[in-house]
Amino acid sequence: MNRLLIASLDRFGPLREGVRERLSECALTSQTFEAGELVVPVGERSSLRLLARGLAVKQSVLKDGARQIFGVAAPGDLIDLAGLFVATDYEVRALAPCEVRKLGAREFRAMLQDHASLLAALCRAVLTEARAQRNAMVSLGRRSAAARTANLFCEIYWRQKTLGLAKDARCAFPAVQGDIADALGLSVVHIHRVLRGLRDDGLAVIKNGVLQILDWERLVALGDFDPEAFRPQIDEDESAAARRSAPLGAGA
């Protein structure tokens, strides 16, 4: 039951052995959400929530009703890192039916006190999130509408592919055009035009919540995509050393 959580934290590892045991003994509450439901509200205090299944977005709704999406969460992602020490400043909303596993706040905070390697893993997870955000900032600030869209499609596909969630150049992306618009700082109408452009040019198609990559190379070139921006920020030396001393990483 906790294997996924441990494997996910291990992505940002190395986790010391004591933590794994302790984590595997923890009670996780599992919750499911329908598409469109609010998974984490703004102002929530974090309790280490893991997205186990489905897709969700981290977003903020502005005073004037506009929305900005900060990132898309895939299975294995910790979705309330922003609330680690204070209340979250964004909300999480399900894009598709989701399963979320949650560690109690008290238990979680107690573990943080005892286990530095857990804190280190979380720190790396936050760094990874920050890096992905910087990629999005480049898109928002300096890339054309088509390039932004291509970059987002590359991200969505690439991340799911590394999780084994893509096949035949297809993966899930159950976002409506309004979601894509709010992720890329564009209008719905314009997103529609860009989408048609990508389809006409044979780069990618999105249909019925499924993203199909037609020409990966050209999509990467158009979107200036760098997979490095989404790699977990693990320390190569340290993690290699840890793997030697404690063989067997709980595979993803």
Q: Which residues bind DNA (CB under 7 A)?
A: 144-146, 176-178, 185-190, 192-193, 195-196
Q: What is the DSSP string of 144-165?
A: -HHHHHHHHHHHHHHHHHHTT-
Distance in Å, CB of 231 to its own copies, minimum = 8
**In contact, 52 and 33? CB cutoff 8 Å:** no
User: Is 53 strand, coil or helix?
Assistant: strand
Closest approach, Cβ 157 to DNA, in A, equals: 18
Q: How far is the CB of 154 from its own copies (least distance, A)?
A: 15
Q: How far apart are CA 91 and CA 89, in angstroms?
A: 7
Q: Which does 30 bind (CB under 5 to 8 A by kind): its own copies, DNA, none?
A: none
Q: Smallest distance, Å, CB 24 to DNA? A: 39
Let me know how long the chain is: 252
Tell me which H or E stretch contains 15: none
What three-state secondary structure class fits 140?
helix
Which has the closest alpha carbon to 159: 140, 184, 131? 131
Q: Which residues sit at the interface with its own copies, rule CB under 8 A?
A: 60, 62-63, 66-68, 70, 81-82, 84-86, 89-90, 112-113, 116, 119-120, 122-124, 126-127, 129-131, 133-134, 136-138, 140-142, 182, 184-185, 224, 228-229, 233-236, 238
Pick between residue 4 and residue 147 the one whose CB is nearest to DNA. Answer: 147
